[in-house]
Amino acid sequence: MAYSEKVIDHYTNPRNVGTLNKDNKNVGTGLVGAPECGDVMRLQIEVDDNNMITDAKFKTFGCGSAIASSSLATEWLKGKSIDEALAIDNMDLVEELALPPVKIHCSVLAEDAIKSAINDYRVKNGMEALELPKSHH
Amino acid sequence: MELPIYLDNNATTPLDPRVLEAMLPYFTNKFGNAASRNHAFGWVAEEGVDYAREQVAKLIGCTEKEIIFTSGATEADNLAIKGVFEMYADKGNHIITATTEHKAVLDTCKHLEKQGAKVTYLQVKEDGLIDLAELEAAMTPETILVTIMYGNNEIGVVQPIKEISAIAHKHGALFFTDATQAVGKIPVDVNADGIDLMAFSAHKMYGPKGVGALYVRRKNPRVKVTSQMDGGGHERGMRSGTLNVPGIVGLGKACELCRLEMDEEAKRLSALRDKLETSLNTMEESYVNGNTQHRLPHVANISFKYVEGEGLMMAMKDLAVSSGSACTSASLEPSYVLKALGLSDDLAHSSIRFGLGRFTTEEEVDYAIENTRKAVNHLRDLSPLWEMFKEGIDLSKIEWAEH
């Protein structure tokens, strides 16, 4: 199966690889997936007082599409408000990266990671966790 | 050195130019049907087939009459197992095989289960070899066939064939082996090994795709299989269909080259394989899969923990290898062979198979080592699991969200 140019670009030059201090109050961390399933994503956001995402980092264990999905997600997150970030849909990632059907689960995982990071931030800052729609996988 | 480098010789091998040269006339002026008995075109084609039959027989130590040409090893597997099941139905209905067999054997057995066969699937030990005591214990008076592969396609382990055939014979069963990965790579002698039926294929030994053979013993005992393809009664009635003359000529030539060059080639390849394996195995958290004493000379299967196989292969973009990772298959299940060794799913996802071949050079192996090291390090820099491992976090204690 051939990868799209965008997947190859993100895979070869992944954006925002790294680690934020998960103990900081303004950092939200989402860790989703499982090693047994062949993909684990960790996505982190740093949020300022105006609920704007000022930084985003990721690390991913998985195939090229999983790495590209999380790399693209961090790019999209930076500069967005939390509410805007919640509106990111996995199908937007699928479209942008031209993922084939067999790789759609990679984008679902990235969406889960975003929501999970936001919830971590919310809980840390005294807000209640959002009810997340059950994973589609 | 040309890129990319082909290191997937267990999937298929390139055609040796000497084989191509032998085949070419049979596509053009020697185009006859080997079954045409009445004119020179047929005779010439038949001569080519007869010579190939000798070349094949010589490689595995049998007589020409014991070779049935097929379209490949999958067909030969089907013919052997289904053919024995039907032919010996009045003797029993029990077949013994192993969980690490090729799908062509496993799915054929599953097919027969629907038709009344009882099949025992032997587990393998951690090193990929079957337990002879378990085989012995599984034998019953109803057992008509034991089918165990010679060398494994994913990890390269070589089963104790002589011991297995002796157990089968002691209990009055026939022994069939899928030797697709072994024939032409290591010495295989059907008499010394006690083999009654054996499948193999040209394209794994530098011959063309679409041609293979089934060895069927004619003496001590005389073995028969019910044909699975009806028609003109070719191949002594066991496999009808106009013979693929150029393909068969190619298989013959490929067998001859393997016979003449095998000893030296096996030494060269195992030295290169060991170099590759030793260098990569010095990396932290890398594991060699399968028995390292009893195995084919040209295969190395290594798991690089905390990186995922498909992602890794993408970084090894100048190398053509394969992975036991789920992501490379349509099923999203990691390799059943590696899981049968008791490997955890995450290690199976992290495996890479390197298959060296006749045209692999030392320069290519050196490049592969460097390329793989860089790729593994790159992927580990991206891996949250590697970071956690480095921080001393026990990953098995984390509650992962299974999906």
Interval A38-52: pLDDT, tens = 899 999 999 999 999
Question: B240 with B211, same domain?
Answer: yes
Q: How far apart are CA B403 and CA B396, in angstroms?
A: 16
Which pLDDT score, from 0 to 100, does residue A133 have? 63
Is residue A92 assigned to a domain?
Answer: yes
B258 known ligand binder: no
Please compute the mean of the pLDDT values over residues B70-86 and round it to a whole number: 98
Is residue B392 assigned to a domain?
Answer: no
Which pLDDT score, from 0 to 100, does residue B138 have? 98
**Chain B hits for A66, Cβ within 8 Å:** 308, 311
Residues of B with CB under 8 A from a CB of A: 306-311, 314-315, 325-327, 330, 332, 334, 344-346, 349, 381-387, 395, 400-403
Contact A36 B344 (CB under 8 A): yes
**Chain A hits for B325, Cβ within 8 Å:** 38, 63
CA distances for B105 relative to B96, B115, B127, B181, angstroms: 11, 16, 21, 14
Final residue belonging to a domain, choices B258, B292, B321: B258
B102 known ligand binder: no
The DSSP 8-state label assigned to residue A132 in this structure reads P
Question: B249 with B290, same domain?
Answer: no
The rounded mean pLDDT for chain A is: 92
Tokens matching residue B228: 């699975």
Question: B47 with B173, same domain?
Answer: yes
Which pLDDT score, from 0 to 100, does residue B108 have? 98
Interval B258-294: pLDDT, tens = 999 999 999 999 999 999 999 999 999 999 999 999 9
Q: Helix, strand or coil for residue B313?
A: helix
Interval B316-371: pLDDT, tens = 989 999 988 766 555 667 899 999 999 988 899 999 999 999 999 999 999 999 99
What proportion of chain B, given as a percentage, has pLDDT over 70?
A: 98
Question: B254 with B267, same domain?
Answer: no
**CB–CB of B218/B230 below 8 Å?**
no
DSSP state letters, B218-248: -SSSPP----SS-SS-TTTTTS-S---HHHH
> Is residue A137 pLDDT above 50, yes or no?
no
Final residue belonging to a domain, choices B224, B239, B258: B258
Contact A135 B349 (CB under 8 A): no
Question: B326 with B380, same domain?
Answer: yes
Point out the catalytic residue in the list A12, A24, A25, A37: A37
Is residue A137 assigned to a domain?
Answer: no
Nearest to B13 by CA among B198, B178, B183: B183
Cis-peptide into B297, omega within 30 deg: no
> Is residue A8 pLDDT above 50, yes or no?
yes
**CB–CB of B302/B352 below 8 Å?**
yes
Question: B179 with B95, same domain?
Answer: yes
For B224-242, give one letter per residue: b (16+ CB within 10 A) or e.
bbebbbeeeebbeebbebe
Point out the residue among A14, A38, A39 whose CB comes nearest to the CB of B382: A14
Tokens matching residue B371: 């390329």
Instruction: Identify the band that residue A136 occupies on the pLDDT scale cut at 50, 70 and 90.
Output: very low
**CB–CB of A87/A111 below 8 Å?**
no
Is residue A15 assigned to a domain?
Answer: yes
**Residue ranges making up the domain that contains A107:** 5-123
CATH number at residue A48: 3.90.1010.10
Q: Helix, strand or coil for residue B285?
A: coil
Which pLDDT score, from 0 to 100, does residue A129 have? 87
Number of domains in chain A: 1
Is residue B44 assigned to a domain?
Answer: yes
Question: B284 with B197, same domain?
Answer: no
> Is residue B236 pLDDT above 70, yes or no?
yes
Secondary element (H or E) of residue B253? helix B245-281
pTM over 0.90: yes
Final residue belonging to a domain, choices B235, B258, B281: B258
The DSSP 8-state label assigned to residue A52 in this structure reads B
Catalytic residue ranges of B: 327
Q: Helix, strand or coil for residue B190?
A: coil
The DSSP 8-state label assigned to residue A37 in this structure reads G
Phi-psi region of B395 (alpha: psi -120 to 50; beta: other; left: phi over 0): alpha
CB pairs under 8 A between A and B: 91
Residue of B nearest to A39 (CA): B308
Is residue A133 assigned to a domain?
Answer: no
Residue B392 CA to its chain's centroid (Å) = 40
Is residue B402 assigned to a domain?
Answer: no
Is residue A134 assigned to a domain?
Answer: no
Is residue A93 assigned to a domain?
Answer: yes
Is residue B398 assigned to a domain?
Answer: no
**Residue ranges making up the domain that contains B380:** 5-10+262-385
Interface pTM, i.e. ipTM: 0.91
Q: Helix, strand or coil for residue A94?
A: helix
Q: Helix, strand or coil for residue B151?
A: strand
Question: B211 with B244, same domain?
Answer: yes
Nearest to A58 by CA among A20, A28, A18, A93: A18
Beta bridge partners of B349: none
What proportion of chain B, given as a percentage, has pLDDT over 90?
A: 92
For B374-386, give one letter per residue: b (16+ CB within 10 A) or e.
ebbbbbbebbbbb
